[in-house]
Amino acid sequence: MGKLEGKIALITGGNSGIGLETAKQFVNEGAYVFITGRRDLEVAAAAREIGRNVTSVQGDVSKPDDLDRLFAQIKREKGKLDVVFANAGISKIAPLGKITEEHYDSLFNGNVKGLLLTVQKALPLMPDGALIILNASIVASKGSPEWSVYSATKAAVRSFARTWTMDLKDRRIRVNAVSPGFIDTPAWYATAAGEQRLHMMSESIPLGRPGTADEIARAVVFLASDDSSYITGTEVFVDGGFAQV
């Protein structure tokens, strides 16, 4: 018996990185997983990589119609959702003085509005005692140049874990946030500057290296399972100590 045996889970942004690794571990622990991604070919390829007990659904969490289509499919195929990992989001940087309206809107639409709509639209499918895990970030706790808008979106996500815990306490739905540090995922290698920054940050991490998607996924499995039965409203840092010292 796995830690998530028989559970039905949704992982947004499940086509790569942390989302994909978490989906693999959920399936290995006995869950059936729905994954989403904005690009149809990538999310379908991720489902093939997971291999079993998975359904891929193309969609953008910032678009209500895409979410309605997603949850209609989940209701039709499985009838409920035991676990939601609201993982989808985007990352962009800009220094103060060069922040555009497009920069602000894209980050808040994807990281805040999209996450809010995901959870809110999932609630009718979630039984009492279900689990919600939000992907926040250490940037909500650390001040870094050029990351101000992105950091603000993740501070909002952290706040949601607190307030939704109180909104949902009568239903015994636990809400927690996982806050990754610098994690070695494909997004860092999109530019030479990103890869260089990842390696530079290793010098500031007490454990001396970036984390892996596998290490974040294991923390999410913990929060999604009965192992965390007396934990709600909290933030679990998985950051090699970066935000702690």
Q: Which residues are catalytic?
A: 150
Q: Please, are residues 80 and 124 in contact by the beta-carbon 8 Å criterion?
A: no
Among residues 183, 173, 168, the alpha carbon closest in space to that of 135 is found at 183
Burial (0-12, 13-18, 19+ Cβ within 10 Å), 78: middle
Rounded to an integer, what is the distance from CA 16 to the centroid of its chain? 11
Whole-angstrom Cα distance, residue 5 to residue 238?
Answer: 25
Q: Please, are residues 220 and 84 in contact by the beta-carbon 8 Å criterion?
A: no
